[in-house]
Amino acid sequence: MPLEKSWVTSANSANCAFPLNNLPLGSMKTENGAACAVAIGDFAVNLTAAEAAGLISFAKPLCVDGNWDHLISEPSQTWASFRRTLKSALALGSSAEAGLNSYLVPLADITPNMPFIVAEYTDFYAGRHHATNVGTMFRGAENALPPNWLHIPIGYNGRASSVVVSGTDVRRPWGQLKGPNDDLPTFAPCARFDFELEMGAIVGRPSTGPVSVAQADAMIFGYVLLNDWSARDIQAWEYQPLGPFQAKATATSISPWIVMKEALEPCRTETPPREFELLPHLRDCGPMLYDIDLEVSLTPQGQKASTLARTNYREMYFSSAQQLAHHTTSGCSMRSGDLLGSGTISGPEKHQRGSLLELSWGGKEPMELAEGQSRSFLQDGDKLTLSGHAQGEGYLIGFGECSGVVLPALSNPFEGEKE
Amino acid sequence: MPLEKSWVTSANSANCAFPLNNLPLGSMKTENGAACAVAIGDFAVNLTAAEAAGLISFAKPLCVDGNWDHLISEPSQTWASFRRTLKSALALGSSAEAGLNSYLVPLADITPNMPFIVAEYTDFYAGRHHATNVGTMFRGAENALPPNWLHIPIGYNGRASSVVVSGTDVRRPWGQLKGPNDDLPTFAPCARFDFELEMGAIVGRPSTGPVSVAQADAMIFGYVLLNDWSARDIQAWEYQPLGPFQAKATATSISPWIVMKEALEPCRTETPPREFELLPHLRDCGPMLYDIDLEVSLTPQGQKASTLARTNYREMYFSSAQQLAHHTTSGCSMRSGDLLGSGTISGPEKHQRGSLLELSWGGKEPMELAEGQSRSFLQDGDKLTLSGHAQGEGYLIGFGECSGVVLPALSNPFEGEKE
């Protein structure tokens, strides 16, 4: 399918992240709260206002609450009809142009708001290069991948309350730390604060028992970019034996725009070769991944941005659908609004690594940045930005940017009384 | 404070789990959905109906939705005034007796419903005897406790969607398993299905940054009994390196009754002696635990119940308030309705162990039950029941029973199409 044309002319360029083929969904802050928005060209359409004014209408009101929870929980037929209606209204020659034209807001002027309420958040560890890099650093090259790793998508439950939208500042956390030469732990600000480049899949349809990979794929509403901020020193002390906890609870940033699965379908691609055949309930049921170019950049306060890494979502060993199928094997109920982090997406090359832990090899090889700067881990004031897009036939499917600035740790984390 | 007398005369016995001093909150199924209830003597009072009829009224309507989410999210002053109003209405000599009398339902006749919506669920591992037992089995006696264990309450995020109320059947899960002598994993029903005896603390007041132990304690609304059903064979294969995931996601049962913190206050007791002084932000700020006798019984299908273990909540090394304070150190936001599992509560003696894994020592020493039965792990049809009560001066503070029956695994977990 080639580029589809819109009456929003900035959407008709091959370099535009938000053509009519994409129509990613977000939320923007307004005087009264928040509004549902769709990105098209250089603009967002305020759909909450347009729907209220009767200028666009779906099978039922879907934009009333300023986020996409209603639509996400609908059957997939409604997702498809919603997209048809929206596409038709924004297509070149649509009679809706005159009405909707006054509901366009320049993207540069909007303040993103959470596009959905996260029901529960699960984070996986399903990128082979990342798991191999981290395992090599901690356990040596021969024991890099745990024995289970090639058979199940390893994951852990994260904290839904940690999820924030791009643009939200992230406060460097305090935590309990113990260096290898310390006798006793201390409570101190994190000194090894890091990012993780991930994609997030949003579960739309709920389930109450085990689902197949094909069923799981059909349950997924869409995808976001996701930065799983990570406190490496807190993690090193806390994670045995029950996994990461406070190291991952400070914040998890997502892109302002949810790209609906349908928009990504033309960009399907295969998973990497398997070392062991997967058990039947986790086996690929078609091309399981998407070809999505991803990039990380770091902007020290008041300085120029440097690209840290470039990689691609096709590097994942397990897809979101396989992760979701695994998630349900125990009978675990899945809910509309559940968010599944893919795990850090690293490629085989050094410049394709999706975290500073890997890029600086645990701090031993600091990354050189522009203007003579270098980084082993994030410093206060650093702005970290993820971006990504899939390449269609003559058009892009972009996610926008997922960014956050690291604020200094509180001087006393307990100051200020709480009720 | 001695036993307080109620016009519900069955509440006035020293052996009654639900005297006027207790007033635990639950929800019961009704023709139209569910109703808020309080247990008093042998009865539940349908407070939703009584409030709607104007026979009891609080500072604002608190019983409208059939669960306690409204009350739980209120400031602690409202919790206290709610209890005063309720206690006054149910006290001997209250003028409310004539009106409320017709809203009593025998406890034997009610079907429990979830008393609150679980926002997020965290499970800890903060009982020293349990951690020592499990660590000894898996790593040997010398390495039983991980190095961090005496310094932080080790915990992991669980799955809120897994939490069910007592009386809900629990389906034996399928999962990926690999025995020590197997070359490759298989997908099969869990063969080592277990319970874990825990208490759950319900977070009432939210927080947005680190809180002290005293602040954390003030945030807690109340407590429930909690059974963290556990698939030991699934856990053994999946838990390295990121912790338990599907092994803990089948179900987590809670007692039908939430005992509000105020009712437990007369039963405060100290934590066990500390091997290392805790860091200041986790230090005890008074007697941190409650003296609550706990019991586990197992009833094979069609047979008599056998007591598996008796222990006490005072065996915990870290209290719920200390767990909650630790939970916030990273800046993690806590929400009204968050549920914190204490971790398995085992005592020092064999008959005080809070799981079959410990009681049967990994299956090597099956537990003898009544009628010639024995158990290493749970069998299909087994009913597992937790019960517990604190002892006041001449009265009990009971939680009711937290029970569930193990149903056989599905023959084919993927049968039945989902949308």
Of A151, A174, A245, the CB nearest to B176: A151
- Are A297 and A176 within one domain? yes
- Are A295 and A360 within one domain? yes
C-alpha B352, offset from chain centre: 17
Would you call B189 an interface residue with chain A, using a CB distance cutoff of 8 Å? no
Cα Rg, chain B, nearest whole Å: 21
- Are B218 and B320 within one domain? yes
- Are A349 and A402 within one domain? yes
Strand-pairing partners, residue B384, are B298, B404
pLDDT(A317) > 80: yes
User: Which of B113, B144, B169 finishes a domain?
Assistant: B113
In whole angstroms, what is the distance from residue A160 CA to residue A202 CA? 12
pLDDT(B115) > 90: yes
Give the model's pLDDT for residue A71.
98
Distance from CA of B59 to the nearest CA of A (A): 19
Give the model's pLDDT for residue B180.
87
Q: What is the CATH number of the domain that holds B347?
A: 3.90.850.10
The number of domains in chain A is 2
Would you call B404 an interface residue with chain A, using a CB distance cutoff of 8 Å? no
Phi, psi angles (nearest 5°) of residue A387: -145, 160
Does residue B351 carry a catalytic annotation? no
Would you call A23 an interface residue with chain B, using a CB distance cutoff of 8 Å? no
Going by C-beta distance under 8 Å and a sequence separation of 6 or more, which residues neighbour residue B412?
none
Phi, psi angles (nearest 5°) of residue B146: -60, 155
Tell me the pLDDT of chain B averaged across its residues.
96
- Are A90 and A152 within one domain? no
Of A162, A185, A241, the CB nearest to B151: A185
Cβ atoms B383, B404 nearer than 8 A: yes
pLDDT in tens, B319-339: 999 999 999 999 999 999 999
Which H helix or E strand runs over A310? strand A306-312
Distance from CA of B167 to the nearest CA of A (A): 17
User: Which of A62, A78, A113 finishes a domain?
Assistant: A113
- Say which DSSP state A381 is in: T
User: Which of B113, B132, B161 finishes a domain?
Assistant: B113
Q: Is residue B377 part of a domain?
A: yes
Residues in A closer than 8 angstroms to B156, CB to CB, are 156-157, 242-243, 245
pLDDT in tens, A74-91: 999 999 999 999 999 999
pLDDT(B260) > 80: yes
CB contact under 8 A, B161 and A246: no
Structure ipTM: 0.97
- Are B102 and B140 within one domain? no
pTM for the whole structure: 0.98
Strand-pairing partners, residue B87, are none
pLDDT in tens, A155-203: 999 999 999 999 999 999 999 999 989 999 999 999 999 999 999 999 9
In whole angstroms, what is the distance from residue A340 CA to residue A204 CA? 11
CB contact under 8 A, A329 and B175: yes
Distance from CA of A145 to the nearest CA of B (A): 10
pLDDT in tens, B356-407: 999 999 999 999 999 999 999 999 999 999 999 999 999 999 999 999 999 9
Q: Is residue A189 part of a domain?
A: yes
Cβ atoms A344, A329 nearer than 8 A: no
- Are B100 and B170 within one domain? no
In whole angstroms, what is the distance from residue B328 CA to residue B209 CA? 6
CB contact under 8 A, A331 and B186: no
Residues in A closer than 8 angstroms to B175, CB to CB, are 329-330
pLDDT in tens, A211-259: 999 999 999 999 999 999 999 999 999 999 999 999 999 999 999 999 9
- Other Cβ atoms less than 10 A from the Cβ of B283: the count is 14
- Best A242, A276, A283 residue to mutate vs chain B (most B CBs within 10 Å): A242
Give the model's pLDDT for residue B139.
87
Q: Which residues of A305-314 are buried (b: 16+ CB within 10 A; e: fewer)?
A: ebebbbbbbb
In whole angstroms, what is the distance from residue B226 CA to residue B200 CA? 6
The helix/strand/coil state of B384 is strand
Confidence of residue A414 (pLDDT cuts 50, 70, 90): confident
Tell me the pLDDT of chain A averaged across its residues.
96
- Are A154 and A221 within one domain? yes
Give the model's pLDDT for residue B418.
43
In whole angstroms, what is the distance from residue A108 CA to residue B200 CA? 47
Share of chain A above pLDDT 70, in %: 99
Distance from CA of B45 to the nearest CA of A (A): 31
In whole angstroms, what is the distance from residue A344 CA to residue A130 CA? 6
Structure tokens at B100: 């409320």
- Are B78 and B144 within one domain? no
Residues in B closer than 8 angstroms to A281, CB to CB, are 187, 413-414
Would you call B150 an interface residue with chain A, using a CB distance cutoff of 8 Å? no
- Are A98 and A130 within one domain? no
**What is the domain range of residue A46?**
9-113
- Are A89 and A221 within one domain? no
Q: What is the CATH number of the domain that holds A37?
A: 2.30.30.230
Side-chain-side CA neighbours of B311 within 13 Å: the count stands at 31
pLDDT in tens, B45-103: 999 999 999 999 999 999 999 999 999 999 999 999 999 999 999 999 999 999 999 99
Give the model's pLDDT for residue A419.
39
Q: Is residue B270 part of a domain?
A: yes
pLDDT in tens, B201-239: 999 999 999 999 999 999 999 999 999 999 999 999 999
Cis? peptide before B241, omega within 30° of 0: yes
Section B275-294 average pLDDT = 97
- Are B101 and B139 within one domain? no
Strand-pairing partners, residue A44, are A39, A105
Q: How does DSSP assign A10-61, residue by residue? A: GGGSTT-SS-TTT--EEEEEETTEEEEEEEETTEEEEHHHHHHTTSS--SS-
